[in-house]
Structure 1
Amino acid sequence: MVRFAFVGRVSTEDLQDPASSRQWQLARAGDLVEKAGGEIVAEFFDVGQSRAVAWPQRLEGGRLLAALEDPRRGFEAVVVGEPQRVFYDNQYALTFPLFVHFGVQLWVPEIGGAVDPDSEAHNLIMSMYAGMSKAERRRIQLRVRTAMAAQAELEGRFLGGRPPYGYRLVDAGPHPRPDLAALGARLHRLDLDSETAPVVRRIFALRLAGYGARRIVNKLNSEGVLCPSAYDRARNRHRSADGWSVGTVLAILANPRYTGHQVWNKQSKAETLLDVRNVGLGTRTVSRWNPGEKWVYSREAVHPAIVSTADFRRAQTTPATRGPQRTYLLRGLLRCGLCGRGLEGAWNNGRANYRCQAVRAAEHVVADKRRNVFVREDTVLARLGGLLIRALTPPGDRFEEITIPRDLPEQADLCRELALTLIYDPVAQTLRADRGDNERIIAYLR
């Protein structure tokens, strides 16, 4: 009696039931094995794996390939329930030689028995089924994407994903498909979030007033406005809640959904080779941004607008106005003594200052109190000369024997030449100069 191993696969992408799919594939394989007087003694069934995933990358498929090499595998043949389920594109051509090499037969219901490695007809049929599998997947993708494009353009339907900052999801009635509606599926649409919509409206207003993204970020952070990841921690645990960033503001300014129109196909999935030198490893799916001309817009506004279409377009082209030239002598030299991040320039009251933007970082909580890190440039410059003298004086030498530039810009440049890092501690009110040899030189700013 021939002992068989059953191999199958089910993908959950199209909401298939793994248990039902396994049953019918196993039933087809079982009928073929029973007619041959054999017995299925092992099972390799992948759940949630796309057919495009190569055998070595599948959990059960990879386990079967490893078993082929084991003389004590416990079976002499492998049977499939449906060839399109397990072979895709070039997978048959890459996998079947392993069966032949290790002397394991491959049984397929459509062949009516074992695949004959010397039969051109068998190889042609199996290659055809693998090609049909690829064509079937492509047809499904095309139908789904075409349907979603029509739903977005003609109906303005919300097609999933998280709502943009400034909106929330509300119920839009039962699903139009009766079978899904019977299961309780509902449609959703975007509605204004009373707390965050005014923030988005203000960001556009600041942009139209000539503010650049960096100025908008500084203004929002200085006022303590919660950034998107801090406002909704439940869905953003993977993101930092340290405050607004330039990328966040630019993403809001570039999102056309704030005009009230639904937009779909901003991103798409593409398959790329895992290893260009070994195509047998298969592909991986990556998300890529589509060019603007491929985005699909709803013909009508379908949710409340936060900004008009005209203002949105102006926000894309309005140049940021520049104020008077401002000089930060210590640019790139100062770091936060709490979190280690670089301090950024902040011009207030007609003078240069420096502050840490990561005020919401956990390291900024000291003695149960959140600490802002802010230091005036002139306060640091007043102690910079002394720091440089101490940094340049060899052990045992007298400080007065060291000469440093009197000009403050030249002192700042000397710090860069010496690779000094100036670390400001707002709690102890100290400025620490760390050298490359880890020697620490401290000046008190009190």
Structure 2
Amino acid sequence: MIFEDLGLEKCLLKGVKDMGYQEPTPIQREAIPLGLEGRDIVGCAQTGTGKTAAFILPILQRLQKGGGIKALVVTPTRELALQIDEVARSCSRYSGHRSMAVFGGVGYTPQAKKLRKGVELLVATPGRLLDLQRHGDVNLGKVEILVLDEADRMLDMGFWPDVRRIINLLPEQRQNLLFSATMSPKVLSVIGSALTRPARIEVERSATPVDTVDQSVFPVSSMQKTELLVELIRKRDLDKVLVFTRTKYRADRLCRNIKRKGIKAAPIHSNLSQSQRQRTLDGFKKGNIRILVATDIVARGIDVVNISHVINYDMPSDAEVYVHRIGRTARAGASGTAISFMSPEELSELSSVEGLIGSTLRCEDMEDFVYAHRVIPSPEREAKKISRMVYNGGAKSGRRRRRPRRPAAARA
């Protein structure tokens, strides 16, 4: 199948061609025709599978130019907002649609002034959008299409009350598109009432890593992680590497330590200003920064091409975060490598990851590296796949739960 088979207009196809897309990805093949029909969609696809273009393209085709904001994309982070807006601008290069991203951490007034010039597609983080609405600088009364991107992430970050306030500001008659790399039962339960007979799209299983990522684990003591990382970078000549730590403090400390070894590295986390984070990402993209040390603020949505390796310096406490981390490599069909450092204290985290992905990770050793105390997972271990929720349209279970009887003293 090619993009011409999906029913897209020539102006959009021209933009797609300029972006270098050869043929639609599975999520694009499924979502674009449904989006063009005006269907509500619940889409679950891994990061790096082209899901942003899967909702941006049908939105642009359905939007009339002028007349205010007709489509709203709500997303949890500034980085995601910028990425989505970049895709929208590229796709709309020949259609004449105007898009814009608004988010916190930067000046309010420039965004308000730009909004007054008029846009049809607005990409926003929840907090800044509500600020603009409260000050009368944005009108959501004409929105025809709502996209909630990375809904699980918004729930995890505590944005859901804000999202509900935003939904209440919109016209009741609209198209709703819900996209995420994972789809938890909790998200589906809270958003189900806003959807009208949604089409369910799940190109890959929830929280399943892409097949082109080579995954392995290095058992190592906590005290030797930095030394092992430096050895890996030097001996395997690693370049354009994304390293994940558990905390901002650990990211800063790790950066300082590996920079002392002559390796160009920089941290990125929420303590940095938006301009600092953007400069760091630009330097990483251009190759001026060899190693980017990050917290999970960039585990989703940062679209940096040609990342050769993702290294989990710390195993994530949430197994699903592992999937989002390693999704930074092997994007759009490319191959990549994910390495996890596992200290003895992190054996349970490894078990959770393996249970989620349904397979065990290959154990590796660094050649000529002298290891201290460590725990090597049993080669006979098994991974038990965790069951997942599939959207059922909000139907209730046929069996009613019996209300527990209160103690006699409580009834008195």
TM-score above 0.5, yes or no:
no
Larger radius of gyration: 1
**TM-score normalised according to structure 2 size:** 0.29
Between Structure 1 and Structure 2, the one with more strand by share is: 1
**TM-score normalised according to structure 1 size:** 0.27
- Which one has more relative contact order, counting CA pairs under 8 Å at least 6 apart? 2
